Structure formats: C-alpha cells, structure tokens
Amino acid sequence: MAGDAREQTLSLAFMRDHPAQAARVLEGLPAAEVTALFERAPARVGAAVLTAMLPRRAARNIAALDDRRALDLLAAMGTQPTVAVLRHLPDERRRALTSGLPTAAALASAMLLGYGEETLGAWADPDVVLLPADTHAAAALDRMRQARAAHPLVFVANAERRLAGIVPLSLLLRAPPAATLASLMQAPLALLPAFAPLAATAAHPGWEHASALPVVEPGDRLVGILTRDALSRALRRGAPPPAAVERSGRLSHLLAQTYWNAVSGLLGAGLALLPQVAPVADAERRDDER
C-alpha cells in the first residue's frame, strides 16, 4: 500500500513538473486507463497535461469524466485549448459543457467554435487584454496584473473590438503613469486573417519578427492572438496517434518510472539537481493561499 501511494504521488508530481512529457505518455494509452488519473489529479495539474495533449486524445479523456469534473479541468485550461477539445466531443455533450463554463469563457468558446477547424480563427486565443485608446498606462498595468495575461501585450481597440494598435508590456512599464495608450501604441507587425487556412500560415513572413500575431476578422475586428506554439499544435493535431506505450503493471507505476527517467536524464546531462518533490496537495494548498 505504501508503494502504491508513493507511485501515485510521483505520478502526480511528474504530471505537475513535466506536463508535456506526461501528455506524450498518456496519449499512447487507452482513455479508460487514464480516466481515474484525471479524476483525482488537481485541476491545474490535469489541465496542463490535457492542454499539451493532441486535442482528439484529450477529448477522449474529457468524454469519460462526469460534467462537473470535466468543467473543472476545462475552466483551468484557458479558452483556446478548451475549444480545441470541445470540437471533438459529440454535439450534445459539447453544448452542455460550453453552457456550463463561466459566461465570458462560454461566449468566447462559442465564437471560436463558429470558425472552421482549418482556419486561423479557430486557433486564436481570445484571452487578451483589450483596452480603449484613452486608457492611462497606470490603469493598463493594473488591468494586466488582474488579468494575469498570458501574452505581454495590450491590444488597443474600440468598443467593437476594431484593432488600433498594440502596446508591449516592456514599453508600458517604462511609460509615465498618465500617458495614454494612444500615445504609446504601435502598429502590429502583421495581421492574420481569421478565415485564412492554417496550412498556409506557417510560411507567413510575420513569424520572422514575432512569436505571436493578432488574428482579425474583416474590418480589423480582433478575434485574438495566435502564437507559433499554438500554430504548431494545430498543424500536428492530425498526426497519427503515438504507438501504444510498452508497459507492465499499473499506470501509476509507469508514470512514476517515467518521472525518475526524466529526472535521471537531467542529472546525467548536468542540467539540474533533483529537487525534493513536495506532495502535490501541499503545493496546491500553497498556491491557493497566495
């Protein structure tokens, strides 16, 4: 029993510390085998792994969970990864889960689901800081702190989301507090049309100068932002599923062993020292207390 508990702790620690590697392992397993793992993993830990998985494989795991647990995980994933997963669920389940999301996330998800999966609009991240041109720099910084924005950019737009310019966070930090965004904004390096096909976008010259580009509808109405990483995930989503993982024994044993293999690889390369792995529950409690 003690060994089982230790393996389960290491499994969750591996998912928390190496979500992309854990995703590759779990993608090669039948969904039924990993359902219990996503049922007991802290939502933020499970969400990070699901985000790193191919959307079709992640959807199989979400489909096996009850609505309450599925919504806990989806709400922690962010809008764009959530939409990528929802696309691969049956219509009735998709509608039920979309309606169960917080209002803003439900509206944004419905917008993205309106785009074809092969278009840029479907893969844009709508969770950006969008402010009017007369906003002062100090207020814009406060908004970015509250929003915990994933992208270091403020998008300047009117009430109809028509994009006027962008303000990098680095510039905002140096600006006088009373400066308006109108006086600070810059023209985007490039705009990506929301209805443009994914396949043609990898060669867009805008990627030579930026790792993230705005996605707009006709009239420069902002849909969201597309990163190179998101584009890569979108392009590889049709890749064949990974080969079944060679395994013996319990899933928790497999993940625990993979955890130590990953750590041993870091040690062998001299890149890191093995940190003490705190229990996942303790880490989650500390995050909640902040």
Give me the tens of pLDDT residue by residue for the chain, a chain 290 residues long. Answer: 444 556 667 778 888 888 988 888 888 777 777 888 898 889 999 999 999 888 888 999 999 999 999 999 999 998 888 999 999 999 999 999 999 999 888 988 989 999 988 899 999 999 899 999 999 999 999 999 888 667 899 999 998 899 999 999 999 999 999 999 999 999 998 999 999 988 888 888 889 888 899 999 999 999 999 998 888 878 877 655 555 444 444 555 555 455 445 544 443 333 333 333 344 444 445 444 54
- Whether 119 maps to a domain, the answer reads no
| Beta strand pairing call for 212-217 and 192-193 | parallel
CATH of the domain at 52: 1.25.60
Q: Both 74 and 136 in a single domain?
A: no
pLDDT score for 198:
86
Phi, psi of 254 (to 5 degrees): -60, -50
pLDDT score for 250:
52
- Whether 136 maps to a domain, the answer reads yes
Domain count, the chain: 2
Residue 186 CB-half CA count within 13 A: 12
Q: Which domain holds residue 147?
A: 129-236
Where do the H-state alpha helices sit in 28-168?
A: 31-40, 43-52, 55-63, 67-75, 79-86, 91-100, 103-113, 137-147
Residue 212's contacts (CB-CB under 8 Å, 6 or more residues apart) are 151, 153, 225, 226, 227, 228
Q: Both 147 and 219 in a single domain?
A: yes
Residue 62's contacts (CB-CB under 8 Å, 6 or more residues apart) are 50, 70, 73, 74, 85, 89, 97
Between helices 103-113 and 91-100, what is the axis angle to 10°? 150
Q: Both 231 and 134 in a single domain?
A: yes
- Whether 203 maps to a domain, the answer reads yes
Question: Which of 237, 220, 101, 62 shows the shortest CA–CA distance to 156?
Answer: 220
pLDDT score for 85:
92
CATH of the domain at 211: 3.10.580.10
- Whether 6 maps to a domain, the answer reads no
- Whether 153 maps to a domain, the answer reads yes
- Whether 254 maps to a domain, the answer reads yes
pLDDT score for 234:
83
pLDDT score for 93:
94
pLDDT score for 254:
52
